[in-house]
Amino acid sequence: GAVVSQHPSWVICKSGTSVKIECRSLDFQATTMFWYRQFPKQSLMLMATSNEGSKATYEQGVEKDKFLINHASLTLSTLTVTSAHPEDSSFYICSAVGEASGGPATQYFGPGTRLTVL
Amino acid sequence: GQSLEQPSEVTAVEGAIVQINCTYQTSGFYGLSWYQQHDGGAPTFLSYNALDGLEETGRFSSFLSRSDSYGYLLLQELQMKDSASYFCAVEGFKTIFGAGTRLFVKA
């Protein structure tokens, strides 16, 4: 089956620093990747849709200058949380959609990155 | 707008059958998916219904009625390891997740 990896799996940083999270599709080309954020005991909230070679589409309420997304290749998308603050502490999950087997537009999720901002 | 409703919590015993319902309001509907998420982990895909009817995958089945904007996930022969959160998700121009149903399986 399709595999999506995320790196790092967890990160602790000081307030004000920037953190980059990578999302890679390991065995297929992902034309579209999604970035989600999940607070404890809550649902996944879509932050942005990332398409290879074009600007990301952000959901309402998500600051594009704070959450920088780069989809540089068909197998890699990065999310950079700039000037992170404690309220940005969350579980960040990416997913990839591509031409992998699995039927109609199946999303393959990465294992997630737990960000803690002190 | 888009919205999904599912129960917040369900408790059942090992070996039992449980049904988790999901109603939705959306535009651009392609289908309804179900995901399982254990605490601290990422969601894993369980099933997808694009057409009305029942899809069976082992102990799990999923049902969709497009005319009623309703679907459900049926879990049979419950095991302790099935204790997790289950999310329905509307697949359209983008995926919108429900709030999730926490399933507790008791011995």
Please state, in angstroms and rounded to a whole number, the distance separating the CA atoms of residues B17 and B9. 15
Long-range contacts formed by A47-51: CB under 8 A, 24+ apart: A47/A79, A49/B94, A50/A77
Q: Percentage of chain A with pLDDT > 90?
A: 71
Cα nearest neighbour of A46 on chain B: B96
Q: Is the pLDDT of residue B67 over 70?
A: yes
Instruction: For A79-106, write each residue's pLDDT tens digit.
Output: 999 999 999 999 999 999 865 455 456 7
Instruction: For B35-60, write each residue's pLDDT tens digit.
Output: 999 998 989 989 999 999 999 989 99
User: How many other CB atoms sit within 10 Å of the CB of residue B17?
Assistant: 12
What average pLDDT does this structure show over B72-97?
93
List CB contacts of B78: < 8 A, sequence separation 6 or more.
B12, B13, B14, B15, B16, B17, B18, B105
The whole-number pLDDT of residue A99 equals 59
Please check whether residue B84 touches A, CB under 8 A.
no
A91 bridge partner residues: A38, A114
The whole-number pLDDT of residue B34 equals 95
**Residues 44-83, chain A, touching B (beta carbon < 8 A):** 44-46, 49
Mean pLDDT for all residues in chain A: 90
Residues of A in contact with B91 (CB under 8 A): 104-105
Q: Is A107–B45 a contact, with Cβ atoms under 8 angstroms apart?
A: yes
Q: Is the pLDDT of residue B85 over 80?
A: yes
Comparing A6-10, A52-56, B98-102, the range with the smallest average pLDDT is A52-56
Q: Are A10 and A112 in contact (CB under 8 A)?
A: no
Please check whether residue B51 touches A, CB under 8 A.
no
